[in-house]
Amino acid sequence: MTECGFIGLGRMGGAMARRLIEAGHRVVAFDQAKSARDALAAQGASITSSARAVADTVPIVFLSLPNPEIVVDTMLGKGGVIAGNRLEVCVDLSTSGPETASRLAAGLAERNIASLEAPVSGGIKGAREGTLSLMISGPKSVWERVRPLLEIFGRPFFMGETAGAGQTMKLVNNLLGACAIAITAEGMTMGVKAGLDPKRMVEVLNVSSGRSSATLDKWPRAVLPRTFDFGFTAGLALKDVRLCLAAARILGVPLGVGTAVCELLERTVSALGADSDFTAMAKIVERDAGLDPERPPT
């Protein structure tokens, strides 16, 4: 049994923390939301009064938080985990970008605390079932130390020791995922307006060269049934694509398609709210084409 901490018990973090408990590890946890704390306590976690208190209690701490600002504040801010008396390894499971990863690694190193980034992909379903992909970077010795814990979440891929490598891989992945939704929305809208059956379109695409994560999973699960509840918000998708564009600018890489998708996400958030599902990008494309985005399932 390993003693470990978990900060950020939302839909992703809560599911990952539960998997650690189910695997027999002692989990000490904290979240700002009482409901999230209570839910994990019912699963057997020990709950503390603050993020700092987690790092006072256990040597390894995982974080799953919504944006880079919260990640930095939780790790390096006043009363953050960096001040913890027992903390030896901090693992950021969030998508916070390569610049933040470098800042965290440097800040934690001043206290001789190892920093590992391990952003995840696979959604809530993957978090619950332990089928996430994890993109790891940081000191190799630390990676080997926490690898058995990370494998509880899914399949980890070690991207190298350079801070930011894992975050860069995650941003590329999320950019491609968002682009797949956007272009699938355009193609499907064109077909539907021309009179094609959308279910048959998806069947054809999934055995043809146009198949993607969008046609294989997102359309059957969330768009064709018109539920738009895949489980990842448009606000978070927009945050990730913006992080990707910022990282690309630093590298001198133009992302014309990515910029267009960012604009579509901005319109989705503006029209439907940050908490709307990222598959709701399809509604914006349909509306632009004169289709009723609130039409019933096909």
pLDDT confidence of residue 295: 86
pLDDT by residue (tens digit) across 59-82? 999 999 999 999 999 999 988 999
Q: 65: helix, coil or strand?
A: coil
Q: Count of alpha carbons within 13 Å of 190, Cβ hemisphere only?
A: 5
One-letter amino acid for residue 118 of the chain: A
**CATH superfamily of the domain spanning 3-160:** NAD(P)-binding Rossmann-like Domain (3.40.50.720)
pLDDT confidence of residue 298: 73
pLDDT by residue (tens digit) across 184-226? 999 999 999 999 999 999 999 999 999 999 999 999 999 999 9
| H helix runs in 77-164, sequence order | 98-109, 123-129, 140-153
DSSP state of 277: B
How crowded is residue 80: how many other Cβ atoms within 10 Å of its Cβ? 19
Residue limits of CATH 3.40.50.720 in the chain: 3-160
- Nearest-angstrom CA–CA distance, 81 and 75: 5
- H/E stretch holding 132 reads strand 132-136
Protein fold of 167-288 = N-(1-d-carboxylethyl)-l-norvaline Dehydrogenase; domain 2 (1.10.1040)
pLDDT by residue (tens digit) across 166-186? 999 999 999 999 999 999 999
pLDDT by residue (tens digit) across 16-29? 999 999 999 999 99
In the chain, the percentage of residues whose pLDDT exceeds 70 is 100
In this model, does residue 1 exceed pLDDT 80?
A: no
Give the active site residues: 170
Contacts of 47 (CB under 8 A, 6+ apart): 28, 29, 30, 37, 40, 41
pLDDT confidence of residue 110: 93
Query: How many residues in total does the chain contain?
Result: 298
Contacts of 235 (CB under 8 A, 6+ apart): 269, 273, 274, 275, 276
pLDDT by residue (tens digit) across 230-265? 989 999 999 999 999 999 999 999 999 999 999 999
Residue carrying the six token digits 């980890």? 156
pLDDT confidence of residue 278: 97
In terms of DSSP bridges, do strands 46-47 and 89-92 run parallel, antiparallel, or are they unpaired? unpaired
Residue limits of CATH 1.10.1040.10 in the chain: 167-288
Work out the angle at residue 206's Cα, subtended by the Cα atoms of residues 134 and 281, and round it to the nearest 5 degrees.
65
- H/E stretch holding 250 reads helix 234-251
